[in-house]
Chain A
């Protein structure tokens, strides 16, 4: 073993690049806009932050065909600035952007329960995420059928969509990006070879709005409000250094333009403030959209691009991954062909598999910065009726969306999730206290007491719940929120979320029931169990002591202990909660099935291969159940048997969760196979990965819908196969599959306990591992069957070699 203590520096080129960019923009740590508001002038880089063509190519997906306007959710390429999201079609004859705003929600507090004590779940009452606008840029004479060499790329490192093609001797190129610093989406059209652009720009609302020309500049816009009072608006402007750009009725026409820059902005008056009714009354979204579009368009396309790329790279550059080298034949295929070949031939394509992780990171940087967090689809819609409202599902989906954030070097992107929970807390508390114990609610507290907060299975951004009460949802949200602290060791953050933990603990203090159970030995003991609940989303509707709730409350109480200890708070209450935790019932293995029980019953009361792994929450994301001596063998075996019974053939997010569990069990083959299953190309039926790499779930024959959680859960699994951590303990390459074993590396991986790790391997063995403390002090590191212990001061790093 060879431990070298070094100063907090890193001579890897990519890391150095990131640091200099961060310094240049000052934007890396700044978590922008809580809403669509006026913002300070962006910091603009003085030098080009663009990657060299070769470096860019490593991080690009590419296709030889544009997307279909009829299949944008499967074929449109996503861009986003953390609030605004858009899908781009990239057809030469008509660029199409379907633009969403993460805050453009119908619905409201939804605090009138149905007769059954549960929540309404409609687009008017609970609400739905909807599309903001549809932007088209029609290019006269640019028929795809006449274009040669068409190619479009998604640059995952720089946050760019690019399309190019040759037409009558001219090579045309377009770039599309959603700028966080300029709070706008930019489309830049250029050419080489003497051609020009002529056509029309149209901006249309999707709710029947009227687009009009506005006074200043060649700008058209619309503004309107929903029945819930939410005001919103969008605007587009354009400029060219040659040719003519002019408002023509409600559209903008352009002709003879050698280059053309189109800038669109938009937003709502949503504010993450329950006290203000989730509105900012001072905000005129249409006017602000115009202001922002025109302000951005005052800068050159290069300036806008450089500002965006510097900002984007500051995040994208925090992790790099190399799972091995793909063959020249694989590299010659475009991304869609590669997915098809991967499935057809069953030949590993490590670069494609790494690209899937890069794509997940791209989506997170694009979809989760400074606004609302990502729900079931993030800010990417192709219509106004997304399945399940595009909402926040609290019984796996929002948690899974953020499993990847800290693991993959995007801790900053997690904040949207935490900030959301904090902003909702007053409403969640109010609604819980007023309505949870409604007599018709089958999940009400038998104790008759009520305290703290919980949520429904679905939540919206207005403090409202939808569908059914989800008592244990509070504990699962807290599990995710606390884990972020474990990665970052950010005390201020912990202080911020403490009220959420406290409220959830109080809820359970009021809810837990005492009962007597008989152990296998025949001994009786008194335990605490959760009141009536539904193990998501199967089996008996109201069962007491379900494993899901028991595990989550056990986790919650433990995290509360740590949090109050770290923050030096409330030791008396901590001790009381500790005492409750000691008495919590924990699941046993069914003598009938050999599985860890999902319900307090030896019988299988649900579907054997059900999508949810709720009873395995102690295996992942929890780590109460571990493949080491700390976990009784029968529990480990029961969990493994249950996971085995759930099977290997589910869909997107469910496969991702399975893969994560198998990674925790160090079964590399199964963990990898589930990743591969999610890469199955989706072409109209079944489940799998669409042309644009969005994960598609077939909800019914012939109808596939986008579920973004798999796009995050699967990369989380990839990372989990390379590195397992819990505070004080790290294992390197716990489940490295043969396909990636030859040689590879990953840098920038988050480590629970407050570190960031870089790992290199060859022949399946770690050759070098570097740990940098972001707040952590010490941890054990296990690799190759050997254990080391490292101690670092925050900011320090150390490299282990010859492991």
Chain B
């Protein structure tokens, strides 16, 4: 969640008039709740956060890039935490919604013991058989209905007696009694209200008070600047984290979401570098002896992916999925952001730590704020990204369709499988195809139509590296679609999707490779050859910007036709390039980010080639294009 006291603007990194207006509304609401909130400042800063982070990340990530750089996190260990993406329920979606009746005692008041236990029972009854086993209490368990926080004598958050009259341990017990796991929440740093003039003692640390854990200048941290930054050069700071971790362990919690973590949470700069906090939590949790899953939020800086992998079990790659509106979410704000933002992270996830796309609010129908097609697409993207699958829905009121989505075992199996995270295998325009290879030789293939009108989407087997026939199974409709030669095309509704298992029966695709750096190619404008460890031949062509072009010459095929040309490229951020053959006009194609400037990925494009020699051109147009490593051209169309 993003604690309502210190709201940060949704989508400030993707400004639009409509969003800006909505942001104002959110800020206004929050200001009424917490007069101290430096809301406007947060809004102004947020937009600048990500570019700097991206630049900083380039060298770090490059050092570890490899052909298939799936990195094991440090924490799976014997406990098996996050061996697979976790599944469950979280309270925040309903807390944050203005849906009538959800929060009768003021904003965010949904979070109560009664509601958590009600959802626990429903989860146990309806979803636990499918693997959903975490019940996660989000922000506010220590705040009253005016959002005033409460602390124990040791500056530790303490449950609000109205919300949780029997305390947090009792809730955890109930959850455990249902065979489920209990999750809890904290913002990173020492919340300002817990500082108590520096006089609060730290539990089990006789020489420490709150004055000894922060910086003397009381510099603030986290995504809302709602806390004082902890100074881990002072031993008392670790003691404070230890005291919180021990409290959660004593209560019996199995999961902690640490929120507002930077770099990320729309913040950059030293004050918002919470890597030491996360490391301290990792250490403190280990010291308790209780396996506790540590999840980080929100919009974590990909440049610190190695840190998140080292110290945590999952990281939110994006802003809140919730819309803070009359429904739980809406397509535009911000479910659909994930299609653009997830590819950069595809290489970062693995056993022990996963890319967290946030809650899946697909079960309630109208309250979700989505069409049926959108609900299916939402869960499809989460599953192929191997995101944690936790719903924010009212589990007591799942509609039939929502239940069928959340309990589709084939789709859950995609999420929980040992296949790598899927990536787009086409450019990422309104229609896109994502895929990943499964250990049994089959492929998981998702078709998406992000456009607002129905559209057909085609998956070419050549983009998966084979040709000929393949057996196709439709996971959502639970039917075999028979054998399809070379491709499958389906009509998708607006914002719709299909999810297939494709089992090749043909042969590997024979291709010819043409290196971007080949001497006979035509480089125009600023285009130039650069070294690239991750690239074929150790080189690529970059500096494709503002009119610069790469023409790959002498591309030879025997027969005229439309070919599926696989492009290997490097692009730290999503960039578009116009690709055409010979005299064609081409199409401006958005390539998904590869995550950093040291990792190469591929997408496939359709181009007509004539018999004989051809030129394939990558034209930056008036923008910035990805660096090009090579193309692989099928020997026959």
Q: Which of B454, B476, B582 contacts A144 (CB 8 A)?
A: B454
The residue in chain A whose Cβ has the minimal distance to the Cβ of B377 is A145
Q: When chains A and B are docked, how far (Å) is the Cα of A144 from the Cα of B587?
A: 28
Instruction: Give A128-162 interface residues, CB cut-off 8 Å to B.
Output: 143-150
B453:A346 contact, CB within 8 angstroms? no
A144:B492 contact, CB within 8 angstroms? yes
Number of inter-chain CB pairs below 8 Å: 95
A64:B491 contact, CB within 8 angstroms? yes
Q: Which of B452, B491, B562, B585 contacts A147 (CB 8 A)?
A: B491
The residue in chain A whose Cβ has the minimal distance to the Cβ of B453 is A68
Q: Which of A75, A146, A148, A329 contacts B562 (CB 8 A)?
A: A329
- Cβ of B70 within 8 Å of any chain A Cβ, yes or no, is no
B454:A345 contact, CB within 8 angstroms? no
- Cβ of B607 within 8 Å of any chain A Cβ, yes or no, is yes
- Cβ of B279 within 8 Å of any chain A Cβ, yes or no, is no
CB-CB < 8 A to A341: which residues of B?
562, 606, 608
Point out which of A64, A150, A340 has the most chain B C-beta atoms below 10 A from its C-beta: A64
B-contact 0/1 string along A188-225, CB 8 Å cutoff: 00000000000000000000000000000000000000
- Cβ of A373 within 8 Å of any chain B Cβ, yes or no, is no
CB-CB < 8 A to A742: which residues of B?
none
A150:B490 contact, CB within 8 angstroms? yes
CB-CB < 8 A to A329: which residues of B?
560-562, 608, 637
Q: When chains A and B are docked, how far (Å) is the Cα of A165 from the Cα of B581?
A: 35
Report if A346-B582 is in contact (Cβ < 8 Å); known contacts: A329-B562, A329-B637: yes
A146:B455 contact, CB within 8 angstroms? no
Q: When chains A and B are docked, how far (Å) is the Cα of A168 from the Cα of B580?
A: 41
A66:B587 contact, CB within 8 angstroms? no
Smallest beta-carbon distance B269→chain A, Å: 39
A-contact 0/1 string along B497-516, CB 8 Å cutoff: 11000000000000000000
Q: Which of A144, A148, A327, A336 contacts B496 (CB 8 A)?
A: A144
CB-CB < 8 A to B560: which residues of A?
327, 329
Report if A347-B585 is in contact (Cβ < 8 Å); known contacts: A66-B491, A145-B373, A148-B490: no
Report if A68-B608 is in contact (Cβ < 8 Å); known contacts: A145-B493, A148-B490, A346-B584: no
A-contact 0/1 string along B383-420, CB 8 Å cutoff: 00000000000000000000000000000000000000
The residue in chain B whose Cβ has the minimal distance to the Cβ of A144 is B493
The residue in chain B whose Cβ has the minimal distance to the Cβ of A143 is B372
Q: When chains A and B are docked, how far (Å) is the Cα of A442 from the Cα of B580?
A: 54
- Cβ of A344 within 8 Å of any chain B Cβ, yes or no, is yes
Point out which of A67, A146, A340 has the most chain B C-beta atoms below 10 A from its C-beta: A146
Smallest beta-carbon distance B615→chain A, Å: 12
- Cβ of A644 within 8 Å of any chain B Cβ, yes or no, is no
Smallest beta-carbon distance B372→chain A, Å: 7
B474:A148 contact, CB within 8 angstroms? yes
Smallest beta-carbon distance B606→chain A, Å: 8
CB-CB < 8 A to B452: which residues of A?
68, 70
CB-CB < 8 A to B493: which residues of A?
143-145
Q: When chains A and B are docked, how far (Å) is the Cα of A148 from the Cα of B472?
A: 12
Q: When chains A and B are docked, how far (Å) is the Cα of A546 from the Cα of B477?
A: 67
- Cβ of B376 within 8 Å of any chain A Cβ, yes or no, is yes
Q: When chains A and B are docked, how far (Å) is the Cα of A337 from the Cα of B458?
A: 11
A344:B496 contact, CB within 8 angstroms? no
Q: When chains A and B are docked, how far (Å) is the Cα of A165 from the Cα of B562?
A: 26
Q: What class of interface size applies to chain B in its complex with A?
A: 35 or more
- Cβ of A334 within 8 Å of any chain B Cβ, yes or no, is yes
- Cβ of A63 within 8 Å of any chain B Cβ, yes or no, is yes
Report if A345-B490 is in contact (Cβ < 8 Å); known contacts: A63-B456, A66-B454, A145-B373: no
- Cβ of B586 within 8 Å of any chain A Cβ, yes or no, is yes
CB-CB < 8 A to B477: which residues of A?
146, 148
CB-CB < 8 A to B585: which residues of A?
343-344, 346
CB-CB < 8 A to B489: which residues of A?
64
Report if A145-B372 is in contact (Cβ < 8 Å); known contacts: A64-B491, A341-B608: yes
Smallest beta-carbon distance A349→chain B, Å: 10
Smallest beta-carbon distance A693→chain B, Å: 16
Smallest beta-carbon distance A770→chain B, Å: 34
CB-CB < 8 A to B122: which residues of A?
none
Q: Which of A65, A67, A344 contacts B584 (CB 8 A)?
A: A344
Instruction: Give A153-184 interface residues, CB cut-off 8 Å to B.
Output: 165, 168
CB-CB < 8 A to B494: which residues of A?
68
The residue in chain B whose Cβ has the minimal distance to the Cβ of A146 is B477
Q: When chains A and B are docked, how far (Å) is the Cα of A327 from the Cα of B477?
A: 35
Q: When chains A and B are docked, how far (Å) is the Cα of A146 from the Cα of B479?
A: 10
- Cβ of A598 within 8 Å of any chain B Cβ, yes or no, is no
CB-CB < 8 A to B491: which residues of A?
64-66, 144, 147, 150, 165
- Cβ of B481 within 8 Å of any chain A Cβ, yes or no, is yes
CB-CB < 8 A to B608: which residues of A?
329, 341, 344-345, 347
B453:A70 contact, CB within 8 angstroms? yes
The residue in chain B whose Cβ has the minimal distance to the Cβ of A167 is B477
B587:A344 contact, CB within 8 angstroms? yes
Smallest beta-carbon distance B436→chain A, Å: 22
- Cβ of B583 within 8 Å of any chain A Cβ, yes or no, is yes
CB-CB < 8 A to A168: which residues of B?
479
The residue in chain B whose Cβ has the minimal distance to the Cβ of A75 is B453
Report if A345-B456 is in contact (Cβ < 8 Å); known contacts: A145-B376, A145-B492, A145-B496: no
The residue in chain A whose Cβ has the minimal distance to the Cβ of B608 is A345
Q: Which of B455, B492, B607 contacts A345 (CB 8 A)?
A: B607
A148:B456 contact, CB within 8 angstroms? no
Q: Which of A65, A337, A345 contacts B581 (CB 8 A)?
A: A345
The residue in chain B whose Cβ has the minimal distance to the Cβ of A340 is B587
Report if A67-B562 is in contact (Cβ < 8 Å); known contacts: A145-B492, A329-B608, A345-B584: no
A-contact 0/1 string along B89-117, CB 8 Å cutoff: 00000000000000000000000000000
Q: When chains A and B are docked, how far (Å) is the Cα of A505 from the Cα of B452?
A: 54
Smallest beta-carbon distance A685→chain B, Å: 12
Smallest beta-carbon distance B588→chain A, Å: 11
Q: When chains A and B are docked, how far (Å) is the Cα of A63 from the Cα of B583?
A: 27
Instruction: Give A273-309 interface residues, CB cut-off 8 Å to B.
Output: none
Q: When chains A and B are docked, how far (Å) is the Cα of A37 from the Cα of B376?
A: 50
Q: Which of B454, B497, B637 contacts A65 (CB 8 A)?
A: B454
- Cβ of A91 within 8 Å of any chain B Cβ, yes or no, is yes
Instruction: Give A311-362 interface residues, CB cut-off 8 Å to B.
Output: 327-330, 333-334, 336-337, 340-341, 343-347
- Cβ of A52 within 8 Å of any chain B Cβ, yes or no, is no
CB-CB < 8 A to A344: which residues of B?
580, 584-587, 606-608
Point out which of B492, B497, B586, B608 has the most chain A C-beta atoms below 10 A from its C-beta: B608
The residue in chain A whose Cβ has the minimal distance to the Cβ of B580 is A344
The residue in chain B whose Cβ has the minimal distance to the Cβ of A166 is B481
Q: When chains A and B are docked, how far (Å) is the Cα of A329 from the Cα of B456?
A: 17
- Cβ of A46 within 8 Å of any chain B Cβ, yes or no, is no
Q: Which of A64, A330, A346, A347 contacts B456 (CB 8 A)?
A: A64
- Cβ of A521 within 8 Å of any chain B Cβ, yes or no, is no
- Cβ of A518 within 8 Å of any chain B Cβ, yes or no, is no
A-contact 0/1 string along B258-274, CB 8 Å cutoff: 00000000000000000
CB-CB < 8 A to B584: which residues of A?
344-347
Q: When chains A and B are docked, how far (Å) is the Cα of A344 from the Cα of B578?
A: 10
CB-CB < 8 A to B562: which residues of A?
329-330, 333, 341, 345
- Cβ of A71 within 8 Å of any chain B Cβ, yes or no, is yes
CB-CB < 8 A to B561: which residues of A?
327-329
Give 17 pairs: A residue, B residue, CB < 8 Å, sorted on A.
Answer: A64-B490, A65-B491, A68-B452, A70-B452, A91-B454, A144-B496, A145-B493, A148-B481, A150-B456, A329-B561, A329-B608, A341-B608, A343-B585, A344-B580, A345-B581, A345-B607, A347-B584
Q: Which B residues fall within an 8 A CB radius of A? A: 372-373, 376, 452-456, 474, 476-477, 479, 481, 489-494, 496-498, 560-562, 580-587, 606-608, 610, 637
* Nearest 4 pairs of A and B residues by beta carbon: A68-B453, A345-B608, A64-B456, A150-B491
Instruction: Given contact pairs A329-B560, A341-B608, A346-B585, enumerate 19 new A-B contacts (beta carbons under 8 Å).
Output: A64-B491, A68-B453, A70-B452, A70-B453, A144-B492, A144-B496, A145-B476, A145-B493, A145-B498, A148-B474, A148-B477, A150-B456, A165-B491, A328-B561, A336-B456, A344-B607, A345-B582, A346-B582, A347-B610
